């Protein structure tokens, strides 16, 4: 055998081994892939067990409309929703209210009500949380035309933030000028007691720190500017109006001003997490509101918000106390009369 033949033979031998190895590897991958899909056979020729199909998502998450393929609802879709509502009620609201967990009774004081179930409104999400009636209520409160959401949408329900905040943009196109957000929150400030009320002076947008912002994506200038400032998200003049109402109602002993933050939920916070929030100067923590305020400010609405302190946050380890949803609901019922009176008088002074 000459040198050329030897080299060719060695090369063929190496290539053959390499090709054989690659073929065996490829066949192995193909066999494993087939088994993974339940089409191969198990050991000793036994049929492989097919994977169970995944559980379907909840109906409100599975529901599909044009907006699901986008990063936000288009102006045209929001305008369609607003026109749908305006064509079915004579009320032209100037104040929009979102009722938090256990606070839906605020809408019960409205007169000349027109009620729309969320599932009956085109493109509208659906609330799935206990304590949220899931309806939009138009009416008059102290002579002021308002629209009230009995139930909001949360990130933990499976909705992206832009979908959670879609009703705020609808309110803007309905003619709303003043936006009021209410929520139930855990009290971190040691001065706060269950049943107290905290007027939001500012917030910390933790979800926004992670890039999860309702304004993420292409901006439509018809809604608002690309880079809205948040330095006066909570209107100072509206806060002053609320403080004057609190003084006249003689409830200053249960009302505070503070800083709120929203976490993603649905689980309540650990002691370590609560201690961190406390170190950062946060007075109350919940699972809503911040992204709604961001959207409302972007729309040019004047914003006011308050939290009902529904539970005291547990930062100690040697205790049996735990946060629970039932306590949140009970506190809302307990404070309903005061909250109704506070909001009614506030609205009358703002837009009466």
Span 274-281, average pLDDT = 98
pLDDT for residue 244: 98
| Those residues with Cβ within 8 angstroms of residue 28's Cβ, 6 or more apart along the chain or in another chain | none
The secondary structure of 265-293 as a DSSP string is -SSPPPHHHHHHHHHTT--EEESSSHHHH
Window from 28-37, 40-49, 339-348 with minimum mean pLDDT: 28-37
- Model confidence at 39, pLDDT cuts 50, 70, 90, reads very low
Could you give the domains of the chain? 3-45 (no CATH), 72-351 (3.40.50.1580)
If one counts every other C-beta atom within 10 angstroms of the C-beta of residue 270, the result is 12
Q: How many whole angstroms from its chain centre is CA 106?
A: 20
Work out the mean pLDDT of the chain and round it to a whole number: 85
The pLDDT > 90 percentage for the chain reads 68
Strand partners, 95: 146, 178
Using only C-alpha atoms, the chain has a radius of gyration, in whole angstroms, of 28
Query: In terms of residues, how long is the chain?
Result: 352
Dist. CA 336–CA 151, nearest whole Å: 15
């Amino acid at each position: 055998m000459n040198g050329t033949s030897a080299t060719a033979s060695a090369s063929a031998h190496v290539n053959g081994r390499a090709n054989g190895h690659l073929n065996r590897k490829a066949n192995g991958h193909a066999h494993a892939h087939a088994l993974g899909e339940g089409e191969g056979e198990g050991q000793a020729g036994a049929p492989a067990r097919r994977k169970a199909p995944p559980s379907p998502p909840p109906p409100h998450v599975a529901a599909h409309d044009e907006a699901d393929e986008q990063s936000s609802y288009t102006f045209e879709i929001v305008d369609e929703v607003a026109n749908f509502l305006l064509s079915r009620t004579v009320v032209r609201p100037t104040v929009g209210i979102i009722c938090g967990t256990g606070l839906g009774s605020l809408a019960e004081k409205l007169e000349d009500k027109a009620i729309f179930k969320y599932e009956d409104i085109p493109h509208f999400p659906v609330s799935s949380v206990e304590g949220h009636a899931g309806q939009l209520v138009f009416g008059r409160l102290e002579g002021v035309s308002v629209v009230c959401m009995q139930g909001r949408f949360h990130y933990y329900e499976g909705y992206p933030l832009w979908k959670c905040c879609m009703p705020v943009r609808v309110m803007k196109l309905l003619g709303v000028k003043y936006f009021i957000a209410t929520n139930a929150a855990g009290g971190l400030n040691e001065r706060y007691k269950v049943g107290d009320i905290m007027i939001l002076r500012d917030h910390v947008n933790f979800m926004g720190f992670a890039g999860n912002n309702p304004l993420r994506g292409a901006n439509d200038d018809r809604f608002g500017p690309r880079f809205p400032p948040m330095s006066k998200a909570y209107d100072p003049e509206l806060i002053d109006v609320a403080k004057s109402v609190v003084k006249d109602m003689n409830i200053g002993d249960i009302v505070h001003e503070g800083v709120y933050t929203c976490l993603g939920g649905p689980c309540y916070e650990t002691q370590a997490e609560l201690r961190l929030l406390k170190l950062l100067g946060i007075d109350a923590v919940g699972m809503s509101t911040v992204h709604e305020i961001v959207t409302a400010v972007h729309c040019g609405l004047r914003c006011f918000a308050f939290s009902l302190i529904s539970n005291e946050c547990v930062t100690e380890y040697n205790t049996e106390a735990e946060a629970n949803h039932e306590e949140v609901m009970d506190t809302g019922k307990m404070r309903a009369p005061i909250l109704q009176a506070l909001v009614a008088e506030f609205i009358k002074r703002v837009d009466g």
